[in-house]
Structure 1
Amino acid sequence: MLRNTLIAAFLFCQAAAYGQQKESPARIPVEQINYEAMGAPMPAMLLLTNDTATAVKTKGRKHKKQDDFTLSPYNTKMYTEQHFDNKANLIVMMFNPTCGHCEDQTDRFIKEIALFKKSKLVLMANLGMKSYLPAFATNHHIAQYPDVITLGVDSADFIKNTFLYQALPQINIYSADRKLLKTYTGNVSMDTLAQFIQ
């Protein structure tokens, strides 16, 4: 008797599972975007910075109101891709603030800062590197270039979506309409990069 009851319960469970499979709606596959491919759109950006002295510059005028950025409980500014809507190329350097090659590349950018008329430079580190940013900013005098350079940590998987895991730093160059123009890994000469700086 117990055996027949267990068999009946097993068959009932199988039938219920089969019925559930038939009733579930078809799943629509989600298109995966390869953000590493040339011409790919720039992924969402959320850059957290410690710099509270710099005003965000958008649409030709400086904004200093609370509405122009969101403050976290840690007195950190949060910048999104809209803050970098400068109608020119955007250069994003993914780096480690303790990496010698990354420091050398930053020095190259600063030495040629006069090339940056409209283009912006975003220096983006992994979230775990946030404690190293103040020393990096001080050593490279980042605060002297608030209209050109924004330094912070990734908080929206930008690095996860775009990093090639080949060498540091990685420099992604996005067009004015935020399509990927070029990716460089390792040290890059300013002669090579100058063609993309507006």
Structure 2
Amino acid sequence: MTTTQPQLFLVPCSCGEKLRVRGGQAGEKLTCKCGASVAVPTVRQLRQLETVEDASAPQPAAAWTAWQGPLFSIGALLLFVGVGVLVYTRLFSVLPSDELKQRFEVDVKRAMIPVEQLGAADLLDEFNALREQGRTTEFDYVFEQAHSASAAHQTRQLVGNSLAGIGGLLVVAGIAMALATPRRG
């Protein structure tokens, strides 16, 4: 199916100039640049005259094709779900405090130092800490829970960002394609 462009009819004047008229001007009287009065013929007679395309006519608005609508809808849905996941992650994720993380990192670094490199005071401090606190399974459990919560948080952020990004791209692509596709008339 081809698009139809509005056409102008070329009505000749006695001076040789051709006046551009639309079909709606049939039966009117126009004045040429030379000053002569030119009668615009009837619609039937206009169809027999030479025509040109009307470049000043407004271009038709963009239309959605059969697959641009679903593309836009899927993109909007993915964008909505991705933003929802990000909001949920931000509001409801329970992460270990920064102080707990820092204390744990210090403990791990301290535990990685070989005993041979520790001085007498450091060995005494380690002994006292182990005697007072001991290495309990509760600490391991808390560490595992914190690690799992942190990993789940990062996964939700990745999924949310991915969904929102892909959804946003699909929405933009759907709109761009709709604007680039001329409406068929």
| Shorter-chain TM-score tier | under 0.3
> Greater relative contact order: 1 or 2 (C-alpha under 8 angstroms, separation 6 or more)?
2
The structure in which a higher percent of residues are strand is 1
Q: TM-score, normalised by structure 1?
A: 0.18
- Which structure's residues are more often helix, by fraction? 2
Larger Rg belongs to: 2
